[in-house]
């Protein structure tokens, strides 16, 4: 039986194709090449190398093309990109057979954080030119992505003394073993295993370095009394809880436009929840809208994780913005009393007290009045301005049910939002048919990009360290996502034609 055979490896032959013939006319690298060539690298804040005598440097355009292709094809590390420049015909075409070494590639990304963020913004302008974004409805959401910091390199102040003690014990044991071996060699009692001695010496050196590291961390803790946890690899990381797992990482945020599911704002925080992230994100959305000179009304949607009285009230006054943040979590949770230790199944909770608007008082389950005594000088932990209502101490002390209400010596008091009526009206407005539809639609708008980034691209962690560099990398990841979306929507030839206009 005969099979298809290949060309003998020793046979001489000549290429009868140009480099350009190797790449399809509608291949992604042709657009990457045309797009990067259209950019003003200096205006985007890329570092432009100064020309010196000797070998000229690689152009920033070349290195940016390598990164765009790499992120698009799920290749992010500088060593792999260097390897692909030598063997990947698509990259060979894109770079015209140039292959920078991995350090040159890595330094370009490390040194151009601001410019990488600007690439994302610049591509948004191109999307606006293509009429792919309208800003009529924008949904905001966050996810969790790991940083370059394993849990083994996370140190807590309460454990640092025990860690140092364990390391010292290991050092003492290794020194003892080496001393015993030295003694055996002197007395010639037995044969010394040189390999074992070398292994113990290596381990001892490693533990001594660890001890020095722990001593430095102890110094850091002593200089900052408020610091409870230290992340030694990436100091900007924080512990993030995601689907039952706790990892050192970040909380990336996106604002996604409804028209074509394009990301219009990309940012990263190291905060563990989204409670205070809505205002910063929606402000960036409105600023981007202004920069692109887009007019019209915008619906800004967030899920219940963003529900915050401060975020809602801060943004309600904008004429061209309709803030829609789901209140389901607020409505379902029982109003937690300030003193959590006193709560139990039989304990009177805030929801058990009835408000009388006319007299501005609360009536407790035992028909006693709680009168307003004023407003707290400082906002509460959620940033709310709160009014304080208190029961008369004499009445409270003789109440037969006081044990079910409070153990405080000053009697029962309630802290109630000073904007209670506004918030009640806001929550009621969320129940309109239009707003219910937008809340329901939020999920399909905003979760599409994260699905592509995490599942299709496989980007569940960051390569760079430090919040600012992580922000730059995430912006570039979101640029890559937007590029993929645009290529799925608009034909390649039309894109290149518009670039050349």
In this prediction, residue 434 carries a pLDDT of 92
Distance CA 240, CA 224 (A): 22
- Domain enclosing residue 400, as ranges: 334-422
Based on the domain organization, do 257 and 405 belong to the same domain?
A: no
Whether the per-residue pLDDT at 346 is higher than 70: the answer is no
Alpha helices per DSSP H over 38-133: 60-72, 78-87, 89-95, 102-111, 113-129
Q: Are residues 175 and 297 in the same domain?
A: no
123 falls within a domain: no
Same structural domain, 374 and 312: no
- In this prediction, residue 501 carries a pLDDT of 75
Per-residue model confidence (pLDDT) at position 52:
72
Quick one: tokens of 417?
A: 């939002």
For residues 288 and 318, membership in a common domain is answered with yes
pLDDT score of 21 more than 70: yes
The mean pLDDT of 464-471, rounded to a whole number, is 96
Q: How many domains does the chain have?
A: 4
- Does 256 or 341 have the greater pLDDT score? 256
Count CB neighbours of 186 within 10 A.
8
Q: Within this chain, do residues 155 and 141 fall inside the same structural domain, yes or no?
A: no
Query: Quick one: pLDDT at residue 2?
Result: 79
Q: Does 443 share its domain with 294?
A: yes
Residue 267, pLDDT > 90, answer yes
Q: Is 167 part of any domain?
A: yes
Average pLDDT over residues 58-79: 96
Task: Please report, for the chain, how many H helices and E strands are present, in that order.
Answer: 17, 14
474: domain CATH number is 3.30.420
- Residue-level pLDDT at 325: 93
Answer yes or no: is pLDDT of 25 > 70. yes
For residue 2, being part of any structural domain is answered with no
How high is the pLDDT of residue 6?
Answer: 72
352 assigned to some structural domain: yes
Which pLDDT band, with edges at 50, 70 and 90, does 38 fall under?
very high
Residue 260: per-residue pLDDT: 94
Query: In the predicted model, what is the mean pLDDT of the chain?
Result: 88
26 and 65 assigned to the same domain: yes
Pairwise CA distance, residues 96 & 77, whole Å: 21
- Report the DSSP beta bridge partners of residue 252: 268
Is residue 331 predicted with pLDDT exceeding 70?
Answer: no
| Radius of gyration of the chain, Cα coordinates, nearest whole angstrom | 31
Mean pLDDT of 269-289: 94
Q: Please check the confidence at residue 1 and state whether its pLDDT lies above 70.
A: no
- Banded pLDDT at 13 (limits 50, 70, 90): low
Question: What pLDDT shows up at residue 85?
Answer: 95
Q: Which of 71-75, 194-198, 306-310 is predicted least confidently?
A: 194-198
259 neighbors 132 (Cβ within 8 angstroms): yes
Query: Given the DSSP bridges, would you call strands 321-325 and 298-302 parallel, antiparallel or unpaired?
Result: parallel
Is residue 498, in this structure, part of any structural domain at all?
A: no
- Where helices occur in 135-193 by DSSP H, the ranges are 160-187
- Indicate whether 289 and 350 sit together in one domain: no
Higher pLDDT, 72 or 403: 72
Structural domain contains residue 320: yes
Average pLDDT over residues 113-135: 95
N residues, the chain: 501
The predicted model gives 244-261 an average pLDDT of 93
Mean pLDDT value across residues 17-23: 82
pTM more than 0.85: yes
Q: How many Å apart are CA 380 and CA 417, to the nearest integer?
A: 9
Give pLDDT, residue 322: 92
Q: What pLDDT, on a 0 to 100 scale, did the predictor assign at position 190?
A: 57
> Do 339 and 413 lie in a common domain?
yes
What is the β-pairing status of strands 321-325 and 354-356?
Answer: unpaired
Q: Is the pLDDT of residue 381 over 90?
A: no
Band of the pLDDT at 328, cuts 50, 70, 90? low
Helix (H, G, I), strand (E, B) or coil at 240: strand
Using the predicted structure, report yes or no on whether residue 354 has a pLDDT greater than 70: yes
Q: Is residue 121 part of a domain?
A: no
Task: Give the pLDDT of residue 339.
Answer: 47
- Residue range 109-133: mean pLDDT, rounded: 95
Identify any residues that bridge with 138 across adjacent strands, giving them in sequence order.
Answer: 257, 300
Query: Is there a single domain that holds both residue 143 and residue 275?
Result: yes
* E strand segments, 227-364: 229-231, 238-242, 245-257, 262-269, 298-302, 321-325, 354-356, 361-363
| 332: pLDDT strictly greater than 70 | no
Whether the predicted pLDDT of 345 surpasses 60: no
Same domain, 322 and 449: yes
Q: What is the pLDDT of residue 343?
A: 52
Q: Residue 356 domain-assigned? A: yes
Of residues 331 and 447, more confidently modeled: 447
Same domain, 57 and 141: no
If pLDDT is split at 50, 70 and 90, which confidence band does 15 have? low
Q: Is residue 203 classed exposed, middle or buried when 0-12, 13-18 and 19+ CB atoms within 10 A define those classes?
A: middle
pLDDT at 19 over 50: yes
Over residues 205-240, the pLDDT tens digits come to: 999 998 999 899 989 988 888 888 999 899 999 999
Segment 472-483, tens digit of pLDDT:
999 999 999 999
């Amino acid at each position: 039986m005969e099979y298809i055979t290949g060309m003998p490896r020793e046979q001489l032959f000549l290429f009868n194709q140009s480099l350009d013939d190797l790449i399809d006319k509608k291949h992604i690298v042709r657009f990457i090449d045309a797009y990067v060539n259209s950019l003003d690298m200096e205006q985007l804040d890329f570092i432009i190398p100064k020309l010196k005598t000797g070998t000229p440097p690689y152009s920033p355009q070349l290195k940016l093309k390598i990164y765009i292709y790499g992120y698009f094809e799920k290749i992010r590390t500088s060593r792999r990109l260097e390897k692909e420049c030598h063997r990947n015909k698509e990259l060979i075409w894109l770079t015209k057979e140039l292959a920078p070494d991995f350090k040159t590639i890595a330094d370009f990304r490390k040194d151009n954080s601001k410019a990488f963020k600007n690439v994302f913004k610049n591509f948004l302008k191109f999307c606006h030119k293509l009429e792919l974004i309208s800003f009529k409805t924008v949904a905001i959401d966050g996810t969790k992505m790991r940083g370059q910091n394993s849990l083994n390199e996370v140190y807590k102040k309460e454990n640092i003394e025990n860690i140092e003690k364990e390391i010292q014990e290991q050092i003492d044991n290794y020194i003892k073993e080496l001393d015993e071996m030295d003694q055996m060699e002197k007395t010639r009692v037995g044969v010394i295993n040189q390999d074992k001695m070398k292994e113990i010496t290596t381990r001892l050196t490693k533990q001594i370095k660890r001890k020095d590291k722990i001593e430095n961390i102890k110094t850091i803790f002593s200089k900052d009394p408020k610091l409870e946890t230290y992340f030694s690899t990436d100091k900007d990381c924080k512990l993030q809880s995601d689907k039952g797992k706790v990892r050192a990482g970040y909380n990336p945020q996106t604002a996604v436009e409804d028209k074509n599911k394009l990301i219009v704002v990309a940012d990263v925080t190291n905060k563990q929840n989204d409670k205070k992230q809505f205002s910063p994100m929606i402000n960036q959305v409105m600023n981007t809208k202004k920069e692109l000179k887009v007019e019209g009304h915008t619906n800004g949607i967030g899920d219940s994780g963003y529900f915050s009285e401060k975020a809602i009230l801060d943004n309600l006054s904008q004429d061209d913005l309709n803030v829609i943040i789901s209140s389901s979590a607020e409505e379902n949770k029982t109003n937690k009393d300030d003193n959590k230790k006193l709560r139990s199944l039989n304990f009177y909770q805030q929801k058990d007290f009835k408000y009388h608007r006319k007299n501005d008082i609360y009536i407790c389950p035992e028909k006693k009045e709680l009168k307003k005594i004023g407003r707290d000088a400082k906002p509460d932990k959620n940033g709310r301005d709160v009014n304080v209502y208190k029961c008369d101490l004499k009445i409270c002390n003789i109440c037969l049910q006081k044990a079910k209400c409070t153990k405080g010596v000053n009697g029962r008091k309630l802290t109630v939002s000073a904007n209670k009526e506004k918030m009640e009206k806001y929550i009621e407005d969320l129940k309109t048919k239009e707003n219910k539809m937008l809340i329901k639609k939020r999920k399909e708008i905003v979760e599409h990009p994260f699905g592509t980034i995490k599942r299709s691209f496989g980007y569940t962690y960051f390569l760079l360290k430090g919040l600012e560099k992580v922000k730059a990398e995430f912006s570039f990841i979101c640029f890559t996502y937007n590029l993929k979306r645009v290529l799925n929507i608009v034909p390649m030839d039309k894109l290149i034609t518009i670039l050349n206009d």
